[in-house]
Homo-oligomer: A and B are copies of this chain.
């Protein structure tokens, strides 16, 4: 079998109605009113067993499926959520989205993921307008950036809408696992290896995650009495990590490069290699995220593992809480863990 297929015609289903059955079809078949069917479907208990049985049989015979459109028209609430994310090929965002999607599904919601091309204002607006039209129960922004904040605030969704907290921060604004534990552990690791001067390749300054990581880096550097030779901003891509090293003309004397994600770390490693520097012999390099490929880079990358899926799930849980008005169980702190591989070693001459 190669490509396509036919519209499944429910080959074995005995009934093959042109139009799907409604509760009225079921009601007629069972000899009851539509309301009785509706009640049974909603789990109402006060139905006589024999009635219940007749209706249940009719439901099956007609292969009844509720029309969610009609239902949400009357009840006024839909079972769909919107998720906005940046148009970017990155493991992080896409895993967050996957986690969010799975969590939504488990709660009976469908998650509409809309990737926004942040470089094009009109495309953002039209995308948001489209989202605002499809009545969603709530909207979630999965990437915390200034552009996203702005876009979100400029749109009236008329439903709960908010930006998910990064792994780098929690709702209360208190530093999170990654900032308080993960990145400090990374810097400690380098300090323990004798590195005294570091360089940071940060993410775009409009990203909250980038700012948080940079801040955590800086405070850890200060705490350990190290020196931060430079802080360059990339755009999360390997190419930008490569460019960052070029821009610095090397490492500016630093013996270690701390990139804000694994891709930029990869680019940095490549740039250093091209310049004739050995990693980790001359310069140690670290990333953040622990993407699946990181273990297979040459050299395998020392990084900090981040649980993206949990982040997505937490965001959806929070959104659902806001929608239903129930209290959200405190999100368990997201775990991050230092993963030491071969891209870091003792500082030269240490």
When C-beta atoms are compared, the residue in chain B nearest to A211 turns out to be B2
Contact check, A160 vs B7: say whether CB atoms are below 8 A apart: yes
Interface centre among A9, A164, A292 (most CB of B within 10 A): A292
- Complex contacts, A6 vs chain B, CB 8 Å: 162
From A1, A20, A237, A242, residue with most partner B Cβ within 10 Å: A1
- Please tell me if A273 contacts chain B, counting CB pairs below 8 Å: yes
A67 to chain B, nearest CB (A): 7
Of A20, A80, A238, A267, the most chain B CB neighbours within 10 A belong to: A238
A266 touches B297 (CB 8 A): yes
Q: A62 contacts the other chain (Cβ, under 8 Å)?
A: no
A130 touches B110 (CB 8 A): yes
**How many copies of this chain are found per oligomer?**
2
A11 to chain B, nearest CB (A): 9
Q: Closest CB-CB distance, A295 to chain B, in whole Å? A: 7
Chain B residues whose CB sits within 8 angstroms of the CB of A293 once the complex forms: 238, 263, 266, 293
Q: Assuming the A-B contacts A110-B130, A238-B295, are A5 and B115 also in contact, with contact meaning beta carbons closer than 8 angstroms in the complex?
A: no
Q: Among A13, A110, A112, A171, which residue has the most Cβ atoms of chain B within 10 A?
A: A110
Which of B3, B108, B170 sits near A171, CB closer than 8 Å? Answer: B3
- Whether the pair B110, A173 counts as a contact (CB closer than 8 A) is no
Stretch at the interface among A44-52, A95-103, A216-224: A95-103
- Nearest CB to that of A5 among chain B residues? B162
Report Cα–Cα, A161/B6, bound state, in Å: 7
Q: CB-nearest residue of chain B relative to A299?
A: B298
A134 at the binding interface (Cβ < 8 Å): yes
Residue-by-residue, is A42-74 near B (CB-CB < 8 Å gives 1, otherwise 0)?
000000000000000000000101111110110
Of A98, A242, A296, A297, the most chain B CB neighbours within 10 A belong to A296
In the bound complex, do residue B101 and residue A113 qualify as a contact, i.e. CB atoms below 8 Å apart?
A: yes
Q: Is A78 an interface residue (CB 8 A)?
A: yes
In the complex, chain B residues whose CB is within 8 Å of the CB of A322: 7
Is A158's CB within 8 Å of the partner chain B? Answer: yes
On whether the beta carbons of B152 and A4 are closer than 8 Å, the reply is no
Cα of A169 to Cα of B4 in the assembled complex, Å: 10
**Chain A contact patch, size range:** 35 or more
Select A72's contact among B69, B156, B291, B296, beta carbons within 8 Å: B69
A257 to chain B, nearest CB (A): 14
A238/B270 contact (C-beta < 8 A), A89-B95, A149-B1, A165-B3 known = no
By the criterion CB–CB under 8 Å, are A13 and B156 in contact?
Answer: yes
Asked if A155 is at the interface (CB within 8 A of a chain B CB), the reply is yes
Can you list 24 pairs linking A and B with CB atoms under 8 Å apart? A1-B208, A2-B169, A2-B208, A3-B162, A3-B166, A4-B163, A8-B153, A65-B133, A68-B133, A69-B72, A80-B112, A87-B98, A89-B91, A89-B94, A101-B115, A102-B115, A110-B114, A110-B134, A111-B113, A113-B113, A238-B292, A242-B296, A266-B297, A267-B296
7 smallest beta-carbon distances between A and B, as pairs: A3-B165, A10-B156, A298-B298, A238-B296, A270-B296, A2-B173, A4-B162
Interface residues of A (CB under 8 A from B): 1-10, 13, 20, 63, 65-70, 72-73, 78-80, 87, 89, 91, 94-95, 98, 101-102, 105, 108, 110-115, 117, 126-127, 130-135, 144, 149, 152-153, 155-166, 169-171, 173, 208, 237-239, 241-242, 263, 266-267, 269-270, 273, 291-293, 295-298, 300, 322
